[in-house]
């Protein structure tokens, strides 16, 4: 059953960690861990739909992941394409709108094509917005945001004296979405791994030792239940 907590996060972000370790403990190739992780994505999307969460951002492929063996990167891109192709009808049925952030032009052409196709086919949905972070890096996003601001100043669209936190946020990949309220990280690691460094300034964190393929809807509900018991002060006194 979904949690009864009155406070449900508007936006949940997840670092889906542990696919490789999950496969290794079972004597399986790493790609089998990623395939199992895709099922956990489905569970999480369903759970967010049950909770009426408005935004879900998944750290699907980091900019650093390009350094992995070419065979694994190729397999991951193919998995991404197949996942989108197979799940698009389900996303439409469940009223889920797909979006993506990151340096998307770094993706193979076939992956970009399928990604844009799914985005277009779900554009009319108004339920959960599922955001995939692909070829994404928090530091790269900040650099790209600075370059975007500089271009705007050079073109005379804004004056440099106008630059503040709100203005800078409008030049990030995430400018159309609210900052996450809750960050979930699986596999027990206590780090951000270059994910949404600007946006997570006041986000509540929830870390579980479970590996991502073992993360279920029940685990999502547990994280949201704990979130609902926290007090968010944003630096103010109680």
The pair of structure tokens assigned to 153 is 């100043």
Q: By 3-state DSSP, what share of the chain in percent is helix, strand and coil, each rounded to 5?
A: 45, 15, 40
Whether 17 is catalytic is: yes
Question: Which listed residue (17, 19, 181, 219) is catalytic?
Answer: 17
Residue 51 C-beta-side C-alpha neighbours within 13 Å: 30
Q: Residue 69 carries which DSSP code?
A: -
Closest CA to 87 of 110, 115, 68, 59: 115
Catalytic residue among 65, 125, 179, 214: 65
In terms of residues, how long is the chain?
Answer: 238
Sheet with 204-207: list strands edge to edge: 97-101, 129-136, 55-62, 11-15, 182-185, 204-207
Do the Cβ atoms of 13 and 178 come closer than 8 Å? no
Q: Quote the tokens at residue 112.
A: 């970009």
Angle, vertex CA 16, rays to CA 112 and CA 88, nearest 5: 40
Residue 108: strand, helix, or coil: coil
Active site residues: 17, 65
């Amino acid at each position: 059953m979904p949690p009864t907590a009155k406070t449900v996060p508007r936006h949940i972000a997840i670092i889906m960690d542990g696919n490789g370790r999950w496969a290794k403990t079972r004597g399986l190739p790493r790609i089998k861990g990623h395939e199992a992780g895709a099922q956990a994505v489905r569970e999480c999307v369903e759970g967010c739909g049950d909770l009426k969460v408005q935004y879900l951002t998944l750290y699907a492929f980091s900019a650093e992941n390009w350094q992995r063996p070419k065979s694994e990167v190729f397999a991951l891109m193919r998995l991404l394409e197949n996942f989108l192709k197979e799940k698009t009808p389900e996303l439409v049925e469940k009223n889920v709108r797909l979006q993506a952030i990151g340096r998307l032009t770094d993706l193979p052409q076939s992956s970009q094509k399928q990604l844009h196709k799914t985005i277009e086919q779900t554009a009319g949905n108004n339920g959960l917005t599922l955001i995939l972070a692909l070829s994404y890096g928090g530091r790269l996003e900040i650099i790209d945001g600075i370059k975007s601001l500089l271009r705007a100043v050079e073109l005379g669209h804004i004056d440099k004296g106008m630059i503040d936190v709100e203005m800078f946020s409008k030049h990030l990949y995430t400018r159309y979405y609210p900052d996450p309220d809750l960050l979930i990280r699986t596999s027990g690691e206590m780090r951000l791994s270059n994910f949404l460094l600007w946006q997570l300034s006041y986000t509540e964190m929830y870390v579980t030792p479970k590996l991502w393929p073992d993360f279920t809807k029940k685990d999502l509900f547990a994280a949201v239940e704990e979130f609902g018991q926290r007090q968010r002060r944003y630096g103010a006194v109680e």
